[in-house]
Structure formats: C-alpha cells, structure tokens
C-alpha cells in the first residue's frame, strides 16, 4: 500500500507557549525551533507576531534561522495582525500566514455579535489580504468542532477561492468525539468544491482527553496535516501531543500513513521543551513519560524479561529512550530481582535468590523503590533487615 506522508505542524512555540508559566524568550524559542527542524517537523508555528514585540522578534529570528521547514505566524482576521505577521516573516525562506476567526454559533453570536454572512465575508477578506504578502495561507475556523458542517463547508469553499492553501479545522474546546470529528473532516472532503487544491488540517485540544484520538480520526478521514505540540502542552488541558500522533501512525503502519519525523529524537525533544519551559512531564505520559518504559509489577517484569514485546509495543530506542527499566518495588517478583542483580554483577543460585527475595521484600515494604545502591548493599549483605 502506498503511504501518505502526513505533514506535521508543530505549535509548541505558539499554542503551547501561550500557557501561563510556559513563556519563552527569543533565544529559548530559537533553540527549540532549530531542534524541531532537525527532528523533521514540516511546519513550525513560531508565534503570534502582533501579540508583543518579543514575539514579533522571535518569529522574525526563527524565520531567518530555519531553512527547510515552513515558518508560520498567527494572526486574527484583522489587517494589522496580518501585516505584522507578513513583516515578521519577510525574510523567512518558506513563510506561511495563519489567519482566521471563530465560526461557531457561540463565537458569531456572543464573541463577534455578528452574523454568519458577515463572518464569511471577513474570512474571505482576511485571506485575500494575506495573499498579497505570501503564497501559503492557512485559514483557521476557530471552534470548528462546534460549527455547523454546512456553514463550515461554505466558509472553506469561499476561503479556498480567495487563495487559502490550508484549512485548519480546530476542535478548539476539545468537545468532539473521535467519530464526530472524523465525520466532519470527511464531510468537508466530500462537500467543499475545490478541496483538492487545499490541505485539510487537524487541530485538536484535549479537554476530554481525546485530542490524539480525534486527530487520528481526522487523518483517517482525509486530513493530511496534523497540528500538535511537544508533550501535548497548550491551552487548558493542552493540544494534541506530537509524539503520540507520530507514534500511533508509525506503530499502526497498516493504516498507510507516515511522517517525516525522526522518531528517535522524540524523547530528547520532550526533555528540551520540558527544561526550557520549566514544566515537568507527567511520569505516565505516553511515549515520553519517565514510566513509559518502566515495569514494576512481578507479572509484567517476568514477561518483559522473557520477551520485551510481551508488555511493550514500542521499542524504546525508536523514540530515543536508552532502554526499558525494571523497577524494584514491593510488587516486584523474583525474576526482576535476579535480573537486576545480574546487571550489577551478581549471579544468584535458586537458594540465594529465595533468601535474598525475602530480605528484599522487607526493604521494599519500607521504601517506595529499591534503588541500585540499596540493592548493592543488600546483595553484599551490608543491610540487616529483620521483620519487626
């Protein structure tokens, strides 16, 4: 089966960075942008140039630095925003302006106090205005997840005619169910005249924990660009996590999709973003969490030691993690103890293991985790434990 290469659009430096506490300065953004390009990200959303002089400068500097990836700047459907984005991107090798506005009933009625017709006209005017500056224009229909499909199709058709090259269909509030979001993408694919001239893009938020599922559903129904952030950071519960989407497509290669991402750089990238933003990655985060390849219960440890893929569907090396970890806790079994002992040079006989295991359990009941130095002392008989 011929694979479709899905374009990866990273918005860590825009949607991710707008989260309180995650703000980055230009230097930090440059370091991350450079690594995103090396990792194979196709489009880097570098910031929102009108929002502050600092962000304008960041977009400008990233545009100068990056040579292969497209560099994108966000704007509202407002001329001054679009002009600022265009100016900031003037020296970028592959510039893209991302412009748009809310299209759901709630946005039109309460945010804009407007009508569907007026919003459609504003969308078209914004795209035409942006088109004077750059060829590559992405239009976002904010809150598309809650926008009526017929109206969304009309807007998409109109902005394609005006010159939009990419249509971003954000589930801004993370409300959609995977089938619902996939159906929306399919509806646009089947009902928008001229859709073959544009790329359909997913942009999902994680309010109900479904951002990755919705994104995959979008791809399976015709989207060929995915918008994501490293570690899934972003407004409220976050955006779609880049590492999750990329690895879903890689692990399920029977679906017929691939990406340009060098997956072995995912873990170092996650660490870099975490360190620069000062936000820890939750231990149980899929793909990049510290426990993603750690095994602590006896049953699982025994299986993994016998054959890794009994409990691991991803080879840790594929995402840049050195190796899986067999963690010693009070739930660990003899196989794990023997394995860890062997790793530090102790080959135990069956009787030695039985004896050591009893001592180990007493220690493990006291400590959350038996670390390597504890194990070393235990094995060297330096720790005397007795049942109280």
Applying CB under 6 A, the residues found at the interface with ligand KIV are: 15, 140, 142, 168, 170, 172, 203, 205
Q: CA-CA-CA-CA torsion for 168, 43, 224, 119, nearest 10 degrees?
A: 10
State how beta strands 294-295 and 257-258 pair. unpaired
140 binds, among Zn ion, ligand KIV, none (CB under 5 to 8 A by kind): ligand KIV
Nearer to ligand KIV, 81 or 142 (CB): 142
CB of 144 to ligand KIV, least distance (A): 8
142 binds, among Zn ion, ligand KIV, none (CB under 5 to 8 A by kind): ligand KIV
Whole-angstrom distance, CA of residue 234 vs CA of residue 232:
6
The answer to whether 289 touches 279, Cβ cutoff 8 Å, is no
Nearer to ligand KIV, 147 or 324 (CB): 147
Nearer to ligand KIV, 12 or 172 (CB): 172
Whole-angstrom distance, CA of residue 276 vs CA of residue 30:
11
Backbone phi and psi for residue 345, each to the nearest 5 degrees, phi listed first: 95, 10
Residue 15 touching Zn ion (CB under 5 A): yes
- Furthest C-alpha separation in the chain: 81
Nearer to ligand KIV, 102 or 182 (CB): 102
CB of 267 to ligand KIV, least distance (A): 26
The answer to whether 8 touches 259, Cβ cutoff 8 Å, is yes
181 binds, among ligand KIV, Zn ion, none (CB under 5 to 8 A by kind): none
CB of 76 to Zn ion, least distance (A): 13
The answer to whether 314 touches 247, Cβ cutoff 8 Å, is yes
Nearer to Zn ion, 15 or 374 (CB): 15
Nearer to ligand KIV, 170 or 232 (CB): 170
From 14-22, 106-114, 218-226, 244-252, give the range in contact with Zn ion by CB under 5 A. Answer: 14-22
76 binds, among ligand KIV, Zn ion, none (CB under 5 to 8 A by kind): none
Q: For the chain, where are the E strands, in sequence order? A: 4-5, 7-10, 43-47, 70-76, 95-102, 137-142, 166-171, 199-204, 225-228, 257-258, 294-295, 325-326
CB of 142 to Zn ion, least distance (A): 8
User: Which residues of this protein are in contact with Zn ion, per CB under 5 A?
Assistant: 15
């Amino acid at each position: 089966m011929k694979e479709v290469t899905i374009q990866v659009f990273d918005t860590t430096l825009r949607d991710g960075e707008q989260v309180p506490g995650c703000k980055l300065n230009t230097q930090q953004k440059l370091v991350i942008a450079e690594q995103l390009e090396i990792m194979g990200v196709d489009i880097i959303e570098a910031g929102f140039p009108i929002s502050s002089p600092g962000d304008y400068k960041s977009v400008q500097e990233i545009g100068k630095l990056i040579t292969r990836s497209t560099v994108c700047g966000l704007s509202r459907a407002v001329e001054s925003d679009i002009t600022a984005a265009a100016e900031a991107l003037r020296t970028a090798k592959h510039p893209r302006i991302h412009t748009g506005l809310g299209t759901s009933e709630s946005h039109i009625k309460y945010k804009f106090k407007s009508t569907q017709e007026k919003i459609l006209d504003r969308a078209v005017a914004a795209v035409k205005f942006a088109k004077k500056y750059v060829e590559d224009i992405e239009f976002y229909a904010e809150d598309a997840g809650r926008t009526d499909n017929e109206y969304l199709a009309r807007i998409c058709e109109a902005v394609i005619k005006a010159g939009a090259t990419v249509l971003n269909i954000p589930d801004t509030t993370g409300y959609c169910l995977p089938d619902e979001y996939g159906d929306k993408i399919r509806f646009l694919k089947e009902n928008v005249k001229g859709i073959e001239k544009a790329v359909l893009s997913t942009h999902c938020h994680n309010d109900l924990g479904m951002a990755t599922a919705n994104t995959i559903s979008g791809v399976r129904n015709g989207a060929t660009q995915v918008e994501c952030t490293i570690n899934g950071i972003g407004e409220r519960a976050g955006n779609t996590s880049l590492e999750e989407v990329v690895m879903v497509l890689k692990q399920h290669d029977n679906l017929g999709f691939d990406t340009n991402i060098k997956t072995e750089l995912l873990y170092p990238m996650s660490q870099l973003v975490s360190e620069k933003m000062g936000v820890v990655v939750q231990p149980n985060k899929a793909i990049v969490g510290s426990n993603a390849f750690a095994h602590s219960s006896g049953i699982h440890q025994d299986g993994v030691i016998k054959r890794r893929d009994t409990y691991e569907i991803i080879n840790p090396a594929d995402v840049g993690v050195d190796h899986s970890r067999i963690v010693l806790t009070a739930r660990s079994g003899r196989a794990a103890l023997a394995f860890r002992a062997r790793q530090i040079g102790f080959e135990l006989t069956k009787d030695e293991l039985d004896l050591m295991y009893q001592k180990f359990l007493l220690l493990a009941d006291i400590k959350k985790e038996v670390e390597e130095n504890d194990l070393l002392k235990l094995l060297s008989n330096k720790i005397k434990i007795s049942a109280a």
